[in-house]
Amino acid sequence: MVSRFLYIPNLIGYSRMILMFIAYYVHETHPLVFIICYALSQLLDMLDGRAARAFNQATKFGAMLDMVTDRCSTVGLMLTLSARYPQYTFWCHVFIWLDICSHWCHMLSSGKKSHKLILGGPWLLRYYYATNWFMVLLIIGAEGFPLCLYALSFKEMFPPESIPLIKLGMFSMLPLFILKHIINVIQFVHASILLDEPDEEKAK
């Protein structure tokens, strides 16, 4: 029998981690390599869940690996961005805290095997988790906007004609980036309320 650590979804998770470490290692000198590795890691995130369902290989370890990789990749991107734009360091820290707290509280409150499942809650949060194209679109915006900002900090290393396209992509994804973090706030508040419910029942 194959070890659960070698299940296909988990192998995808390990591949994502390797890509992220490569990206972080070269982020100061090879921006295109950073962007490609980071983007590939995020694309693979769309495959691990499908693989888990297709091969009946969903495990608690896999859910944890997916969650930790998602959160650490976002932290790494924000830290990289704060290094390129020191004036935005405060906001990078805000987004790091918001991302970790909202998803971690959601996973604890749901008691599910995945942080991408939800029952009940505000309609926007339910729509986000129930509508795959909407979730993918907002994730693209949440990751793409800071990636474009990162790319613009290396203007001299990209063809001049590509800069307007990068700026167009950045401004196009800004509303998606904002909406994704609004949903993170909603998710954090909703999860916090759910986590507090058992304590309230015990106190009665």
**pLDDT 10s digits, 22-50:** 999 999 999 999 999 999 999 999 898 88
Q: Average model confidence (pLDDT) for the chain?
A: 90
Residue identified by tokens 């508040």 is: 189
Active site residues: 70
pTM: 0.87
List pLDDT tens digits, range 97-136: 999 999 888 888 876 545 455 656 889 999 999 999 999 9
DSSP state at residue 7? S
Tens-place pLDDT, residues 62-97: 989 999 999 999 999 999 999 999 999 999 999 999
In angstroms, rounded to a whole number, what is the distance separating the alpha carbons of residues 43 and 91? Answer: 25
4-198 architecture in CATH?
A: Up-down Bundle (1.20)
**What pLDDT is attached to residue 121?**
80
Instruction: Encode pLDDT of 161-190 as tens digits.
Output: 999 999 999 999 999 999 999 999 999 999
Q: CA 170 to CA 53: how far, in whole Å?
A: 34
* Cβ neighbours of residue 25 closer than 8 Å, sequence gap 6 or more: none
Burial of 74 (0-12, 13-18, 19+ CB in 10 A): buried
Instruction: Give me the residue spans of the domains in the chain.
Output: 4-198
Residue 8's SS3 state is helix
Residue 198 has pLDDT above 80, yes or no: no
Q: What pLDDT score does 203 carry?
A: 47
Contact by Cβ (8 Å): 19, 44: yes
Q: What is the pLDDT of residue 120?
A: 66
Model confidence band, residue 202 (pLDDT cutoffs 50, 70, 90): very low
- What 3-state class would DSSP assign to 85? coil
130-135, long-range: CB < 8 A, 24+ apart: none
Cα angle, residue 187 at apex, residues 17 and 134 outer, rounded to 5°:
70
Torsion of CA 85, 148, 117, 19, to 10 degrees: -90
